[in-house]
Structure 1
């Protein structure tokens, strides 16, 4: 009896130590992973900042002329020199980059030449509008794409499968701005179901705008982004589920009489959900790029429209701030995708048999 209790205690201690070691290894692996990602993010940001700064400085757009605008003929050479000195654009490129970089390390993104306001405030305001648009389109494209991929795989080689594949291939080769113009013409001009553009009704005070008004102006841009983003998730989910359905354990489940939705729910969902979610998080770059075009088509006041305005009118501080922010946004999306795989995928866990 005593020998049995001693052996049982030893087993418990060994098992407990094994669990602790597994947890330590797992958290240590996540720490190393985050450290490497942090170093990669720092080097990426430095390269993006340097390349973007050089490209903007060597562009044909004159920031002083863009700043003055239509009153260019009324401004003399002395006034131009004072404006250039005020914004620091008369200094050598190296000095400008070092000054801008040192201010950036302190958290100062500069002042917008168009809006005459701090760049951080403009990005914060515009990001709220873009975030609602992108998250709505992101959720719709993920859900609709996943459902379409599952249905296409379950109905493989049928007319429904061919229709879904044709739809996805067509959308995958469709530019976002063209789809936005088509949606705008059909639903806003011809049918008049939704407003033509903007985020709120024109001529209405901000305090008089309701949530329903904002939702009406959000629907068309969100539909445009979600329609374009459906294709990748649907096609990837379809192929992954087809591979799962052809595996040996699925054949065994079918031999036991499992069919249709029950078969997918018990054996297919867990194998295709994680890759679909990871792909959706990794698509942040495409989502942000599509939002730039969609916001321009629908005159939606988000980060995309601000980027176009800053590029056309030569607003160097605002454009550089938007480049940095978009880089961080895309990097965070890819980081979340990698973390999901690291935390949830059983193949990435060490010592799971202990």
Structure 2
């Protein structure tokens, strides 16, 4: 119960107006712990800052949170089906948003009643479920690796063009929520390099819009629109009918660029034609800079962290003229 993850869960339950009434059984506690362990695997924590105590402070490179789809403060359940691993920046932007009723990610409203937690989570669980039930549930957990702060831990990151950290996280979380059609659409976009604009930053920006769609519950339903666009160009994979008409990939590329451009500005006030705007926005999701501008070439610089050293690598990026030419050709 002294694990930091268990302490996070205790605070999570304490924030709920229903307290222990926001969970349904002891298995919810163990499932929440496993979500924290899963989140940590995406965060790529490092430790390069010494505290006054002489120990190193761990920091996540990719800043993530366990995000309640139906807000816990409004009675949302503290169960995995109501929790999405997502960027901290998006979660704080939509902190108390209640999803609309026809949204795929409406979350789960707890049906329980107020059950006080007592002195701490352990005693509260024992009072509610009994010693044997709690012991059985917690004894099956593997103890997470603990960072003691005695040694430095350098950041390790292969760069966005190799890892696509936000894109892969969104795809995996959609799969965990059994949104197989949408997750498969993202698989297709990554595999088909022509459709991904050849440039990883656009897949990452699409993922940011996807996270916003999931957590905000907006009626725009961006992920549904993305699936419809793909089906309109390439058919429905479930029916085995794929269309590879001439120029289809280029047209799809132009439409998806326009899609990103529209919603990135609407929700985040980011102009995709401005490299500095895109760089500053994307770096907000990380604790260290992972992207920069290369004005001399019109490209972006993706930073790779290896052996305690930051290495620059160029990655492609549409200039505004190139992108708009593709759009004008499609709309003329």
TM-score tier after normalising by the smaller chain length: under 0.3
RCO (CA 8 Å, sep 6+): is it higher in 1 or 2?
A: 1
Mark the structure with the bigger radius of gyration: 1
Q: Which structure shows the higher helix fraction?
A: 1
Q: TM-score, normalised by structure 2?
A: 0.25
